[in-house]
């Protein structure tokens, strides 16, 4: 094997290793996201035990819970909770002025 073929073989091996690393990294990141989403869904279901007053304190309504929890399992409901809470708080502030 001459120097040129050695460099070509080494470059090819590094390229393959890099591609494998990218695939594994992407798969791991997606798995972590899915685990976090599922964990957040479990915790989000505990909000159903809150009274309407407690939900109002954090800027949510029962309708908000139902909407966010009706999304597919792969969707993190806490993102929707945050969006809706911000909108609800803005709406309440507009009505009080």
Residue 6 vs residue 87, higher pLDDT: 87
Q: Which residues 6+ apart lie within 8 Å of 89 measured at CB?
A: 59
Q: In angstroms, rounded to a whole number, what is the distance separating the alpha carbons of residues 95 and 97? A: 6
What does the domain layout of the chain look like in residue ranges? 25-96
Give, in order, the Cα–Cα distances in Å from 16 to each of 5, 9, 13, 27, 70.
Answer: 16, 11, 5, 17, 42
Interval 23-58: pLDDT, tens: 899 999 999 999 999 999 999 999 999 999 999 999
Query: Residue 46: what pLDDT?
Result: 95
Interval 56-91: pLDDT, tens: 999 999 999 999 999 998 899 999 999 999 999 898
Cα–chain center distance at 89: 23
pLDDT band per the 50, 70, 90 thresholds, residue 93: confident
Residue 12, Cβ neighbours under 10 Å: how many? 10
């Amino acid at each position: 094997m001459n120097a040129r073929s050695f460099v070509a073989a080494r470059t090819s091996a590094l390229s393959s290793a890099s591609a494998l690393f990218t695939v594994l990294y992407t798969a791991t990141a997606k798995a972590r996201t899915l685990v976090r989403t599922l964990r957040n869904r479990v915790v989000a279901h505990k909000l159903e035990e809150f009274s309407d007053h407690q939900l109002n304190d954090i800027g949510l309504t029962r309708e908000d819970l139902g909407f966010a929890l009706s999304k597919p399992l792969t969707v993190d409901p806490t993102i929707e909770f945050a969006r809706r809470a911000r909108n609800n708080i803005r709406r309440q502030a507009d009505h009080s002025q």
